Chains A and B, each alone.
Chain A
Amino acid sequence: MSLKELLNEALESRTVFTVFGIGIDESTVVTWIIMAVVALLCFILTRGLKLEHISKRQAAVEFAVTKLQSLTQDIAGEHGVRYAPYLITMLIYLFFANIIGVFGFKPPTKSLNVTASLALMSIILVQYAAIREKSLKGWLKSFGRPTKLILPFNILDLITRPLSLCMRLFGNILGAFVIMEILKAVVPVVLPAVFSLYFDFFDGILQAYVFVFLTGIYIKEAIE
């Protein structure tokens, strides 16, 4: 397969099968796989919880959960605690979605549809948090803060923030995927494993954290 065909295939996402005339993409199928894995993990890790004489598995799970909660609380502020479950879920999903390229699947976040919907969800949540905290009039007035001169930029922020969230995640994961594909085609022996430590693991985890961090910062700024 020539390099051009390889790159063309890396950029598109095929329809795997159709259900009632709606084509199901590869990214949807991989997302279902991630959902099944995470649900199974949650089910296995939370069986037989006890109050005293806890097992090592329960101690590890409690440690992880408290770590994640304190992380999101640092990012979103005290009033943002009610949005912590959304941020933690997003972090777990993006963590698995970006890394799953190592296991042979195509990362679902390499397609623009997935990242655009995730960015849209985050921005709608931020505006909902602002409206809930400040009521509709307060939210509309907040566009004029701190000065009236900033008004066009605040309105533009409604568009550029989700756009940059979406494009950052999409570009990083697509770039990593394309480079890994080319590497696997050119030198299939040892180099892909070494480079995937950076491209798949480090880049994927960092971009997941950056996405969640930025959403948390926007929430904190909206709640103020």
Chain B
Amino acid sequence: MNTTLLAIGAGIAVLCGLGAGVSIGIATGHATDAVARQPEASGKITSTLILGCALAEATAIYGFIIALLIIFVL
């Protein structure tokens, strides 16, 4: 029973990835629009996109860490 609850808790914790996935998808869509509008700025747009994705990914990683802690420490 205890391990079941822990497993459910860990599963819920990893749901944080949903926000990161959706937001990075939307950001990439906007970046593609921007590159299509102005192809000569594609270098700057790409690097801004990559930086923004790395920062947005952090919240998903927090969820992953909490899930790891739940499984291995509790």
Which residues in chain A, 169-212, are within 8 Å of chain B measured between CB atoms?
170-172, 174-175, 206-207, 209-210
Q: B65 in the interface, Cβ–Cβ < 8 Å?
A: yes
Q: Distance (Å) between the CB of A152 and the closest chain B CB?
A: 22
Chief secondary structure at chain A's binding surface: helix
Q: A7 in the interface, Cβ–Cβ < 8 Å?
A: yes
The residue of chain A having its C-beta at the shortest distance from the C-beta of B71 within the complex is A7
Known contacts A207-B54, A210-B54; A168 and B72 CB within 8 A of each other: no
**Do the beta carbons of B62 and A167 come within 8 Å of each other?**
yes
Q: B74 in the interface, Cβ–Cβ < 8 Å?
A: no
Complex alpha-carbon distance, A170 and B50, angstroms: 19
A-chain residues with CB within 8 Å of residue B50 when the two chains form the complex: 206
Could you list 6 A-B pairs, sorted by A, with CB under 8 Å? A8-B72, A11-B72, A171-B62, A171-B64, A171-B65, A209-B51
Interface of A toward B, CB cutoff 8 Å: 7-8, 11, 164, 167-168, 170-172, 174-175, 206-207, 209-210, 213
In the A-B complex, the 6 residue pairs with the smallest Cβ-Cβ separation, listed nearest first, are A171-B61, A168-B58, A210-B54, A171-B65, A206-B54, A172-B61
Interface of B toward A, CB cutoff 8 Å: 50-51, 54-55, 57-58, 61-62, 64-65, 68, 72
